[in-house]
Amino acid sequence: MKDLNDILAMAQNVQNELQKAQDSLDTIEVEGVAGGGLVKIKASAKGRIISVALDDSLIVPSEKQMLEDLIAAAINDARAKADAASSTEMSKMTSGLPLPPGFKLPF
């Protein structure tokens, strides 16, 4: 068994690497779309919404419900893409770490 100090140093290193990976997620951008591209939502891989773009043809008071549905769909699409990008980045970071199979990070 490794010395306790070695284990603590390894844990600290893992924590530092996780923090770097988490910080980098906010620099990765994904775009969620709905309505054939009429609604676009840009988000970071961390899930922060950066921008919302609506095609002018959608701004019709009588179509308010449809617009709201498209915005929700685009946000959900952006969120799914952000989650995928986050998982990809985190798996890159943890690929060299001696973790047991199935161990999920962050805790």
Query: pLDDT grade, residue 107 (50/70/90)?
Result: very low
Residue 104 belongs to a domain: no
With contact defined as beta carbons under 8 Å apart, do 49 and 42 qualify?
A: yes
Residue 33's nearest CA partner among 76, 4, 95 is 76
Q: What is the pTM of this model?
A: 0.64
> What gap in Å lies between CA 51 and CA 73, rounded to an integer?
15
Mean pLDDT, rounded, for 54-69:
92
Give the per-residue pLDDT at 81.
92
The CATH number that applies at residue 90 is 3.30.1310.10
Contact predicate 77/90, CB 8 Å: no
> Would 85 be classed as within a structural domain?
yes
- Give the full edge-to-edge strand order of the sheet including 49-54: 29-34, 39-44, 49-54
Overall domain count for the chain: 1
Q: What is the pLDDT of residue 96?
A: 64
pLDDT in tens, 74-94: 999 999 998 888 888 877 766
Neighbours of 33 (CB within 10 A): 17
The answer as to whether 42 is a domain residue is: yes
Instruction: Using the predicted structure, report yes or no on whether residue 97 has a pLDDT greater than 70.
Output: no
38 within a domain of the structure (yes/no): yes
- Residue 101 within any structural domain of the chain: no
* Range(s) of the domain holding residue 74: 4-94
